[in-house]
């Protein structure tokens, strides 16, 4: 069981929504998804620690039913699943959200059953802990890269490809000018990546890291 894949953490939250609120909750997400209002969630982008995140509202009669042998669900509430892929620890993430975009959180979880408001933090943290489901397997294609590294890599690739044009004919002095301009433009993107520090003090986590570093499985 692992919520961690290198620098990425997987969070799964399941929260109930009453029958009378489901249409309002769906409407909020629909509005948030329209290009005209997408700026309203810019706080998420500013946090800059999320790879991908999603909200999925499953109506009380919408859990998949695929076989006549499967018992029918008979639920009082609808349920919202929130799945996030972020960098950093659980505490850093939950605190960042609570501090940076409390009104956005209150809107996205508007009147979910038991929702305590994003501030103060203690009841908010307790709600997240109570509603979190642990992942049984979590995979990230680039465990050593944060979301910002992926975005920086895209910029660097573009810069390097441009720098590599005309190498056979350019003079050393002109290349210097081009190189200096490129590195100046990319100065916020140039940095090296490495495995994340071991965040658990468990002996098993440290032994696992040592095995990886030694190239053993």
List binders of other proteins among 160-179 (CB under 8 A).
160-161, 163-164, 167, 170, 172-173, 175-176, 179
Determine which residue in the list 23, 24, 56, 198 makes contact with other proteins, applying CB under 8 A.
56
Select the residue interacting with other proteins from 21, 40, 50, 119 (CB under 8 A). 50
Which residue among 38, 89, 92, 200 contacts other proteins (CB under 8 A)? 38
Q: Which of 73, 79, 76 is nearest to 59 (CA)?
A: 79
Alpha carbon 98 to its chain centroid, in Å, reads 15
Of 141, 150, 144, nearest to 7 by C-alpha is 144
Task: From 146, 140, 159, select the one nearest 192 (Cα to Cα).
Answer: 146
| Of positions 20, 34, 184, 203, contacts other proteins by CB under 8 A | 34
Quote the least distance from Cβ 86 to other proteins, whole Å. 8
Binding flag, residue 107, other proteins (CB under 8 A): no
Counting residues that bind other proteins (by CB under 8 A) gives: 105
Encoded tokens for 161: 């490809």
SS3 category, 195: coil
Stretch that binds other proteins, among 93-101, 118-126, 187-195, 198-206 (CB under 8 A): 187-195
- 201 interacts with other proteins by CB under 8 A: no
- Report the distance separating Cα 139 and Cα 5, nearest Å: 6
Strand 8-17 and strand 78-87: the pairing is antiparallel
Token pair, residue 4, equals 């961690």
Interacting residues with other proteins between 4 and 33 (CB under 8 A): 5-6, 8, 10, 12, 14-16, 25-26, 29-30, 32-33
193: CB partners within 8 A, 6+ apart: 144, 145, 149
Please give the DSSP secondary-structure letter assigned to residue 176.
H
Among 83, 96, 106, 125, binds other proteins (CB under 8 A): 83
43 close to 100: Cβ distance less than 8 angstroms: yes
Structure tokens at 90: 């659980």
For residue 76, state whether it binds other proteins (rule: CB under 8 A): yes
Q: Pick from 20, 64, 91, 169 the residue near other proteins by CB under 8 A.
A: 64
Among 80, 94, 105, 128, binds other proteins (CB under 8 A): 80
Told to check if 125 binds other proteins by CB under 8 A, we report no
Look-up: residue for tokens 């642990």? 134
């Amino acid at each position: 069981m692992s919520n961690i894949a290198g620098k990425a953490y997987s969070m799964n939250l399941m929260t109930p929504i009453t029958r009378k609120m489901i249409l309002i909750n769906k409407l909020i997400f629909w509005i948030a998804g329209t290009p005209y209002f997408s700026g309203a969630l810019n706080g998420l982008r500013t946090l800059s620690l999320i790879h991908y995140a999603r909200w999925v509202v499953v109506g009380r009669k919408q859990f998949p039913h695929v076989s006549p042998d499967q018992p029918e669900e008979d639920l009082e509430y609808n349920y919202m699943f929130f799945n996030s892929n972020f960098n950093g620890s659980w505490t850093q993430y939950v605190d960042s959200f609570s501090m940076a975009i409390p009104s956005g959180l209150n809107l996205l979880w508007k009147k979910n059953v038991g929702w305590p408001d994003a501030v103060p933090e203690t009841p908010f943290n307790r709600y997240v802990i109570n509603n979190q489901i642990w992942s049984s397997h979590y995979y990230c294609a680039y465990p050593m890269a944060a979301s910002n590294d992926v975005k920086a890599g895209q910029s660097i690739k573009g810069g390097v490809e441009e720098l590599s044009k005309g190498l056979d004919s350019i003079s050393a002095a002109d290349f210097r000018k081009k190189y200096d301009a490129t590195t100046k433009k990319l100065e916020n993107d140039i940095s090296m990546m490495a495995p994340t520090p071991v965040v658990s003090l468990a002996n098993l986590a440290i032994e696992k890291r040592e095995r990886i570093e030694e190239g053993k499985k």
